[in-house]
Every structure is written in structure tokens, then in C-alpha cells.
Amino acid sequence: MHHVNPTCGDEITLRVKYDGETISDISYEGQGCSISQASASVLNELLVGKELAEAQKVQETFLELMQSKGRIEPDDAMEEVLEDAVAFAGVSKYPARVKCALLSWMAWKDATAQALGEADAERKTA
């Protein structure tokens, strides 16, 4: 799944391997600012090995934090879900940078939907 942030030129191509129960692998290639690259790295560390529902909860929590415009101060519960991704809390105060932080997460969401569609198609043809 290829996503581009037209505002600043960040790009990422992200692939998700879903084994039917867990996110077994995420690989990506990208270029862009340090925020977009760090966010992609944290996404990879957080989501590989997680069951789909748990990975989606992490993505939704990260999205909530990024869309808070700095109004959410991560608490223990949020830190437990997001782990190292709570370091991006300050980014939420800067709308132009939020797009950078979310680029890989939106690509992951789309790539996961694609992987699920392919898994469904394989089951139907098997």
C-alpha cells in the first residue's frame, strides 16, 4: 500500500502479512521527515505479532492521540496500549506534522484491509 503526504512529500509503501490470527509481518519502504520515519518504525515494533483486534485498538488509540490537538495527556492506560508511540503526543499540537505521524498508520489500515480481502479470497477458492 503506497501513501503520500502531499503537504511535505513524505512517502511510504507498506505491506502487511496476516496469517489469519495475527499480524505476522509488516515491511515498509519510505522516505520523508524524521516524524514519519520514526512513526513507521514504532508501528512496526508495536503491531507485529499482535492479533488483529488488538492491533486495530492500538491504531485507533494512536489516531485518537494524534487528533487531540494536544488536549490529551497520555495516562497509564494509554501508555500501556501505545508503549513507545506515546512519545508522539507533542506532535498532536502541530496539525501539519500530525499528517506525517499518521502516514504509516493510515497505510497500515489500508494494507490490512487489503490483506484481509486477499485472505478471504484464498479461503473461498481453496
Residue 36 near residue 104, CB atoms below 8 Å = yes
Nearest in space to 114 (alpha carbons), one of 124, 103, 122: 122
| pLDDT tens profile 64-116 | 999 999 999 999 999 999 999 999 999 999 999 999 999 999 999 999 888 88
**pLDDT bucket at 121, cuts 50 / 70 / 90:** low
Q: Decide: helix, strand or coil at residue 72.
A: coil
> How many Å apart are CA 74 and CA 117, to the nearest integer?
34
| pLDDT tens profile 31-74 | 999 999 999 999 999 999 999 999 999 999 999 999 999 999 99
Residue 51 near residue 35, CB atoms below 8 Å = no
Arithmetic mean of pLDDT over the chain: 91
Burial of 112: CB neighbours in 10 Å, binned 0-12, 13-18, 19+:
buried
Task: State the pTM of this model.
Answer: 0.88
Show the domains of the chain with their CATH numbers: 2-120 (3.90.1010.10)
